[in-house]
Amino acid sequence: MSEGRRDLAIVKIEEEKLLGELREKLACDLPGLESQLVAAPPFRAGSFSEEDVKVARRASVMWLMYPTAEGWEGVLIKRAPYDGVHSRQIGLPGGERDACDESDLACAIRECEEEIGVFVKKEQVVGALSPLYIPLSKFFVRPFFACLPERPNFILDEVEVSEVLFLSLDRLCSEGLWGDYEMKGVLVPGFELGGNVVWGATAMMLSEISDCCRDIFRDTFAS
């Protein structure tokens, strides 16, 4: 076996080990609300009731991650302009659950393919993250976590998505990621990405993803 092939085989084994640890983490040890609140806007507290959550519309989103030559990378989208509360905002691919969706996961897979042209196989989904209620749009959102073998080709639904953004896992898990940004006249936790501010529900989901990945991928960051 050549040196290059041996190195590639070692990398593949290491990736499978990392993803196995990640599956275990997502199955039984989610940081949940404690992690989400790190990135929560101050006006979220007291902005909704238990009844609001019970009657909320269901939605699902997908965090896509894959290895690159520089390290692991994830995908965010910038919503296209529309007459709604999330116009031009940064989010994860996803949307409202339809009657045709047999599960929250099926919704996330369908929406991911419709919005950015990436079909995710069920076996590529390593787990689900903590659900999150979004008061402004009245959605109860379930995020899912999928790992692909390489960066996919993206075909955007331009009605829904204006841009795909890439976020390295190294940066997402870095100590100095979070800052304070003025949004809607209030300082909120967030970070800049491609000239945009990532904040709100998306930031809360990413905070949990960061906490789930930090210890598992720590050796990747150190290398």
Inform me whether the pLDDT recorded for 45 exceeds 90.
Answer: no
Q: How many domains, the chain?
A: 1
By mean pLDDT, which of 2-16, 36-50, 78-92, 209-223 is the weakest? 2-16
Give the pLDDT score at 1: 38
**Where do we find the tokens 């050549």?**
2
Q: DSSP letters along 5-44, please?
A: HHHHHHHHHHHHHHHHHHHHHHHH---THHHHGGG--GGG
For residue 71, the enclosing domain spans 3-222
List the CATH number of the domain containing 218: 3.90.79.10
pLDDT for the residue numbered 4: 44
Model confidence, pTM: 0.91
User: Tens of pLDDT along 195-215?
Assistant: 999 999 999 999 999 999 998
Q: What is the pLDDT of residues 70-110, one digit of tens each?
A: 999 999 999 998 766 667 899 999 999 999 999 999 999 99
DSSP 102-166: SSHHHHHHHHHHHHHS-PPPGGGEEEE---EEETTTTEEEEEEEEE-SSPPP----TTTEEEEEE
Average pLDDT score over residue span 29-42 = 94
